[in-house]
Structure formats: C-alpha cells, structure tokens
C-alpha cells in the first residue's frame, strides 16, 4: 500500500479505511473535524511570522573551537606592521603581536577582504555579509558554545533552533523541523528545547549522535529501520495498530493526544522512507558531489554534511545545523588552520553555489560562526589564544546584504569597537530575518515569559538587504 507523502491527514485516514469496513469512519471524520476546530493545535504546524520574513529557513555552520578571525576574514594591516611588538594582552615577552602569515586580498565587486585560506568562498564574496564586531561573554569553549546556542552560559535554556521551530513551525510534516548533523557528543543543550515542549528539540543525526560506541555502525538515525519486518509486513502491522488506535479514539470520542499518536505513527512510517533516502547523497549527480568536494579527499566529510543540509532545507526542514570541529589553534596554527579551512572552503562554496542555482539562497539564511575568536598576539610563536572581545562571523542569503562588512575590531583585532554585535544581538538579528520580533517570541515558564535574548538584543538593521 503506497502512501503519498502529500496526503492530508483526513485523506490518509480515508485511504487506510478502505480495507476495514467495520469502522464507522463518518463518525470518526466528524470527530476529527471537531477536534481540529476546537482545542487541538498541532505544535509543529506552520505559523505566521510576526512580519514578512526575509528568510524561511536557516543553515547554521557551527565551528567548534573558535577559528582565528585575524587570519581568515578580519584583515588587519596594522597587525602585520606591528608584528613582533609586544601585544597588549601578552603573558610572556615572547608572546608578541603576530601578523597573519597569510596574505589578504579584496574579492568580488564589493571588494571584501578575505585571506588566501578561503579561495573558494572568495568567489562568493558578493554574497557574504561579514560581522566583524562580534563579541561574547566568556572566553571558555563550553560556556561560549552554549551561549552561542542558547543565549545563556549560566542556565539551561532552549536553543536557537528550538526557538525558531517554536516560532515558525515546520514546512514538511514528513521530517523533523530542526536537524543537527554530526553533532558533537554530549552537548545536548545546544540542540535542546529546555522548557519549550520537547517537539521543538533538534533531531540529531550523524555518526556521533549516539556516542562513540555506535560510531561507524551505520545507524545514524535512531530506530529508523526494523531488523525483523520488511516494508510490506510493517505496513500491515501498522495498519493493525492504527485500527486499534482509531477504535480507541472512537471509544474515547474526543482524545487529541491519541489523534496525535495516530499522526505520529504515519509520520514515522513516512520518515522511514524519506529520511534515509534524503540522507543518501549518492543519487546526486557526480557534478554536484564534486561541487561540494565529495570526492574522498579532505573535503569529503564536511562536503557531505553541506549537501545533506541543502537536501534537508530543500525538503522543508526549518533549521539545519552542521558542526565542524578542531579550530582551537593554541599551537600549530601555520599547519592546522590551513587544513581546517581547506576542509570547509570548497564545501561551503559549493553549498552557496548550489543554493543559488536552485534559487534557494534568497530565502535560506546561511550562518557561519565559531564561539569566539583568537588573540592578535601569538601564543608560543605558532598559535593564538582565546579572544572573546572581538571576532568575526558571517551570514549569506536570506535577506542580508551581500558583499557587506558590518562592525570592526580595533587596529590589531583585540576587541570589537564599532557596530558591536553581542550574541544577543546576533540572535535578535537572525530571528528578525526569519520574520520574528525577538521581544515578542516568548514562552511562559515558571511564572514568567522567557525570550531567547533574555532582556537584551538589538537587531542590526544595517545588514538587512
């Protein structure tokens, strides 16, 4: 029995009913209609934004470990000039200012400065909106990561993706609305819903989603396949389960939760088909796979994630988050940083190109950020220390100005000085691009209304296209 994914719930029920004449479907349909018109509101149904949105969906490229801004996107000629002079924050005399060993050039019509570490991305300079005035509260990885994701490093709060899903609902009822690909193990807070209802938490897919013990064993999505039954058998079984459920619903007359349960079984059954298919990039053309750098080289891993992100976004997933790790370059900056950049440059360039040619970039907000930046002075001669006072993130597509630089750090890159953007401001701006007022997106918990931005946050209007 084939079930096209586009059928509405009522249609689905009718199509299933055909083989089971003993159920009084007319009465059931009546109850359904009542239920729909009354209290039941699907928490994941698409919801109107507060105002017309520029972006419909988000792809968040999360860089764990804090990439150096002064070697990538924040061009600091004065740092080069003062190379070897004592840095302001130096702990030892040998920790002098260190100009970037990589050369910078201007790219695109906009003349955006970027270092030679991102040759592929440089071709998309006119799509990028650089945020040079980023700053965050704590120069520690775990706290800063959590703050980047939830706004708070002290308390357990819902994540950006969960707030987005809560605010906008999902566009594809066959898929989860918030997906985290290759999430770091532990760290559930970054994708959690905290006090928001659990339906808004991120579904975590990828090799580390279930801990190292399961790594490499293939089953990236928990419980997605049945080890005993084939598809036909399982459909038969599910029809039986659904008949039991509908009988219970009929008996209870009014039970929104059981109705939700019936829907969840159908969605789960469809997910079993759609999700593994969606997660399989092999059916993409060779050209497309090459575009993302899926060719067995260093770009392969992140390229797959980027391609998956596009496929999930295209299929209607509201918020997709990718993770790329190992950016904590206290040492071996000269070799490790180019390696990391090399791993992500072509995949991200490919993602932007692919989104563009599918006309998705205009309403897909691509966000790139680490949890903070690194010091302009060196650490041990070939590394940089943590720096939370000033760093760079960027956005592309989804209603931001392309080829645009917003905010700046001081001449060496220590601290944001103009158009500063705190994490709260960054969150407020992302929500704004999605058509939401960060002050109105609230949830009542423990006696008060909570916001992603707490009592802070200012939308960076200047970057809106």
- Residue numbers 310-369 binding another protein by CB under 8 A: 331
Kindly report the number of other CB atoms within 10 A of residue 28's CB atom. 18
Separation of alpha carbons 386 and 388, rounded Å: 7
Is there binding between residue 238 and another protein (CB under 8 A)? yes
Is there binding between residue 2 and another protein (CB under 8 A)? no
Separation of alpha carbons 391 and 372, rounded Å: 6
Give the SS3 label for residue 206: coil
Residues 187-216 contacting another protein, CB under 8 A: 187-189, 194-195, 197-199, 203, 208, 210-214
Residues 80-139 contacting another protein, CB under 8 A: 85-86, 88-94
Is there binding between residue 418 and another protein (CB under 8 A)? no
State which of residues 103, 106, 226, 335 lies at the interface with another protein (CB under 8 A). 226
Minimum CB–partner distance for residue 187 and another protein (Å): 8
State which of residues 17, 78, 83, 269 lies at the interface with another protein (CB under 8 A). 269
> Could you tell me which residues come within 8 angstroms of residue 458 by beta carbon, excluding any fewer than 6 positions away?
424, 425, 428
Closest to another protein by CB, 336 vs 354, is: 336
Closest to another protein by CB, 114 vs 249, is: 249
Is there binding between residue 218 and another protein (CB under 8 A)? no
Closest to another protein by CB, 11 vs 257, is: 257
State which of residues 24, 27, 41, 156 lies at the interface with another protein (CB under 8 A). 156
Separation of alpha carbons 394 and 72, rounded Å: 11
Q: How many helices (H) and strands (E) does the chain have?
A: 12, 17
> Could you tell me which residues come within 8 angstroms of residue 435 by beta carbon, excluding any fewer than 6 positions away?
49, 50, 51, 52, 53, 54, 55, 168
* Nearest C-alpha neighbor of 400 from the set 136, 149, 124: 124
* Nearest C-alpha neighbor of 194 from the set 229, 146, 253: 146
Closest to another protein by CB, 271 vs 320, is: 271
Minimum CB–partner distance for residue 288 and another protein (Å): 29
Closest to another protein by CB, 6 vs 223, is: 223
Name beta bridge partners: 220: none
* Nearest C-alpha neighbor of 42 from the set 163, 158, 222, 171: 171
User: Which range of residues in 119-127, 235-243, 336-344, 366-374 is near another protein by CB under 8 A?
Assistant: 235-243
Q: In b/e form, how buried is each residue of 333-364, taking b as 16+ CB within 10 angstroms?
A: beebbbebbbbbbbbbbbbbbbbbeeebbebb
Is there binding between residue 39 and another protein (CB under 8 A)? yes
State which of residues 267, 367, 393, 395 lies at the interface with another protein (CB under 8 A). 267
Closest to another protein by CB, 83 vs 263, is: 263
Residues 272-311 contacting another protein, CB under 8 A: 272
Closest to another protein by CB, 389 vs 451, is: 389
Minimum CB–partner distance for residue 283 and another protein (Å): 23
Give the SS3 label for residue 387: strand
């Amino acid at each position: 029995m084939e079930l096209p994914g586009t059928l509405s719930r009522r249609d689905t029920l009718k199509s299933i009913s055909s083989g089971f004449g003993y159920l009084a479907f007319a009465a059931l349909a009546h109850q359904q209609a009542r239920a729909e018109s009354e209290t039941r509101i699907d928490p994941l149904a698409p919801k109107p934004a507060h105002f017309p949105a520029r972006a419909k969906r988000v792809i968040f490229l999360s860089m764990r470990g804090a990439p150096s801004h002064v070697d990538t996107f924040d061009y600091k000629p004065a740092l080069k000039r003062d190379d070897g002079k004592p840095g302001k924050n130096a702990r030892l005399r040998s920790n002098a200012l260190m100009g970037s060993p990589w050369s910078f050039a201007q790219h695109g019509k906009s003349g955006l400065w970027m270092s030679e570490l991102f040759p592929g991305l440089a071709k998309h300079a006119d799509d990028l909106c650089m945020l040079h005035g980023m700053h965050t509260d704590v120069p520690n990885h775990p706290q800063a990561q959590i703050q980047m994701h939830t706004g708070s490093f002290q308390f357990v709060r819902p994540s950006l993706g969960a707030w987005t899903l809560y605010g906008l609902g999902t566009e594809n009822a066959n898929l989860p609305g918030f997906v985290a690909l290759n999430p770091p193990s532990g760290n559930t807070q970054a994708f959690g819903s905290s006090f928001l209802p659990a339906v808004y938490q991120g579904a975590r897919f990828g090799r580390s989603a279930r801990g190292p013990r399961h790594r490499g064993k293939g089953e990236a999505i928990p419980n997605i396949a049945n080890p005993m039954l084939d598809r036909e058998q399982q459909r038969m079984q599910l029809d039986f389960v659904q008949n039991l459920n509908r009988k219970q619903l009929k008996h209870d007359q009014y039970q929104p939760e059981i109705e939700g349960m019936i829907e969840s079984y159908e969605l789960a059954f469809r997910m079993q088909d759609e999700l593994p298919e969606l997660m399989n990039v092999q059916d993409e053309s060779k050209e497309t796979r090459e575009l993302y750098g899926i060719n067995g080289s260093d770009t392969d891993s992140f390229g797959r994630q980027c391609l998956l992100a596009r496929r999930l976004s295209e299929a209607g997933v509201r918020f997709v988050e990718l993770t790329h790790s190992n950016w904590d370059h206290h040492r071996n900056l000269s070799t490790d940083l180019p390696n990391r950049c090399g791993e992500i440059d072509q995949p991200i360039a490919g993602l932007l190109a692919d989104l563009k040619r599918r006309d998705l970039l205009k309403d897909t907000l691509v966000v790139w950020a680490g949890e903070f930046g690194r010091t302009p002075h060196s650490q041990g001669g070939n590394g940089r220390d943590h720096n939370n006072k000033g760093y760079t993130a960027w956005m592309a597509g989804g209603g931001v100005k392309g080829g645009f630089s917003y905010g700046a750090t001081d001449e060496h890159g220590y601290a944001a000085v103009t158009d500063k953007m705190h994490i709260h401001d960054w969150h407020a701006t992302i929500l704004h691009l999605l058509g939401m007022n960060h002050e109105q997106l609230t949830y009542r918990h423990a006696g008060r209304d909570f916001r992603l931005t707490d009592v802070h946050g200012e939308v960076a209007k200047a970057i809106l296209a």
